[in-house]
Structure 1
């Protein structure tokens, strides 16, 4: 049921759970890619994901994996306040 004249698509987007993934330089590629794939992809690869994904830099970009790949981190630490769930896939020893 849609209230207040909202379109069903808009209502669905407002209900999406926000997940932030906190990355840093030196994170292994596999560990960084798993939560981004799990929360950023839609079921079956079609349509919108049920999550709003925020990929956040835990330090000043550019960030690189242990293998040297540059990580795209469009958000900073301030975006963590918007998240219902925060995932830290790995941390430095």
Structure 2
């Protein structure tokens, strides 16, 4: 199966397509991608993950063509940021 994996921090973004075995979970796909070595700050016990913008659990089975996303914590209140721009 072919799935996309994406993650970005403040300085760089990574998006890749990888082949995973059938019945792979989100957690397995992320491990196979190598992103955990490339971004050692990723902590899957804390950070949320999802597929195409919808939050999902690490044990969710991915489907061919899915885009797995690892989300960073929000560091600023979006309401405050919007007010500062006005």
What range is the shorter-chain TM-score in? under 0.3
Greater fraction of residues in strand: 2
Greater fraction of residues in helix: 1
Kindly name which structure, 1 or 2, has the bigger radius of gyration based on alpha carbons: 1
> Structure 2 length as normaliser, TM-score?
0.25
